[in-house]
Amino acid sequence: MNLDDFSDLIERPDGGLRRDAEERRERLIVPPGALGRLDELAEWLSAAQATVPVKAIEQPRVVLFAGDHGVASLNVSARPAKSAHLLVRAVLEGESPVAVLARRAGVPVRVVDAGLDCDPELLPTEVVRHRVRRGSGRIDVEDALTIEEAEQAVRLGMAIADEEADSGTDLVVLGDLSVGGTTAAAALIAALCGTDASVVTGRGGAGIDDLAWMRKCAAIRDALRRARPVLGDQLELLATVGGADLAATTGFLLQSAVRRMPVILDGVVSAACALVGQRAAFRAPDWWLAGQVSGEPAQGKALDRMAINPLLDHGVIVGEGTGALLALPMVQAAAALAAELPEHPETPEPVAAEAAETESAGIEDVT
């Protein structure tokens, strides 16, 4: 597998239809610019859907890729190593923020186990049946995956994207359920942006103290030394310092762009996978939105590189797709306004206008 092959498969959203959507927007009763970024979102959606006016978002879906990372054994996370299955369980039982918000919004949630380090019996079959391997390697000293496992994970993500597109999903809210995932994500972003570990090291969604931050920074530094020699091959990069969940997310993003299915990114993990995807197919980011500013410095670096501006900045750092899901109503609102606001009334016919002028002149003459 060569991820660069996606470059020939992915096309940009229809620019001509976007211009048509802009022209239609100018005819609406609300003055151009009055709706701010909602106008931009509606025009982007029109191009993605290849229709003017834009259609309502009727079948959104939350998709969460789950995995454990061996680097978490270095105490770089506020959560214990090998505990990502507890995050999955909280989602399934409706007790996590993303589960609560999704339930209130009526949006279904799909969890995919790409690399959890737990007994499969702890979770439902539909969650664990795609697992690539049990946990990912410790990226500071060993590869996260073999090349074969990395390819399997990418193909897993591609298959999930195809399943969603075939089932009628018209927009995906993408997130992750991982322990140690932000460390791997920061290593990927640092490698692709050519920056140092200290610039991209954040404190994760659960928050870590200063000592844990220093351990995390050191792990990313060591992972970077291993990543730089393989920068020319995106699949090998994912195998070296990524993980099963990150490789699956990358495959999902690329295939979603092939299938013309828009995606809202969540935090630093999905941003890292998107950056790998951009490296493989430069048109792919045109199909993605960034839901929120996550507070992770690596996310900012990745989004800047892709020229993607987050929709929200509300200080939510919990991750797990929560910030992206909070942005969904904004996207839905943009589509609804563009589709349902009426246009200006027609300008009076020239003949009628001339008759009115003649009648007025006649009155003046009599006077």
For 300-322, letters b (16+ CB in 10 Å) and e give bbbbebbebebbeeeebbbbbbb
pLDDT computed for residue 316 by the predictor = 87
Say yes or no to pLDDT of 353 above 50. no
Residue 365: is its pLDDT beyond 70?
no
Please say if the pLDDT value at position 327 is more than 90: yes
Q: How confident is the model at residue 209 (pLDDT cuts 50, 70, 90)?
A: confident
The model's confidence at residue 15, banded by pLDDT at 50, 70 and 90, is confident
Q: What is the pLDDT of residues 113-123, one digit of tens each?
A: 999 999 999 99
Report the interhelical angle of 268-280 vs 244-258 (nearest 10°): 60
Tell me the mean pLDDT in the region 193-202: 93
Higher-scoring residue by pLDDT: 139, 34: 139
Residue 346 is predicted with a pLDDT of 67
Mean pLDDT within 36-60: 92
By the 8 A CB rule, do 59 and 45 touch? Answer: no
What pLDDT score does 9 carry?
96
Dihedral sign from CA coordinates of 28, 32, 33, 38: positive
60-331 is classed CATH 3.30.70.100: no
How large is the average pLDDT for residues 319-334?
94
Annotated catalytic residues are 320
Rounded distance between C-alpha atoms, residue 280 and residue 42, angstroms: 27
Q: At what angle do helices 97-105 and 322-340 cross, to 10 degrees?
A: 20
**DSSP string for residues in 147-194:** HHHHHHHHHHHHHHHHHHHHTT--EEEEEEEEESHHHHHHHHHHHHHT
Q: Is the pLDDT of residue 226 over 50?
A: yes
The pLDDT value recorded for residue 367 is: 37
Q: What is the pLDDT of residues 288-325, one digit of tens each?
A: 999 999 889 999 999 999 999 999 998 888 889 999 99
Q: Identify the sign of the CA torsion 29, 35, 38, 39.
A: positive
The mean of the pLDDT values for the chain is 91
So what's the pLDDT on residue 364? 46
Please give the C-alpha separations between residue 295 and each of 128, 205, 278, 317, 343, in angstroms, as whole numbers. 30, 9, 22, 6, 40
Residue 347 pLDDT greater than 50, yes or no: no
Burial of 124 (0-12, 13-18, 19+ CB in 10 A): middle
The residue extents of the domains of the chain are 7-53+340-366, 60-331
Q: Which has the closest alpha carbon to 175: 70, 61, 73, 282?
A: 61
Q: Closest Cα to residue 143, out of 77, 213, 81, 71?
A: 71
Q: Which fold has domain 7-53+340-366?
A: 1.10.1610
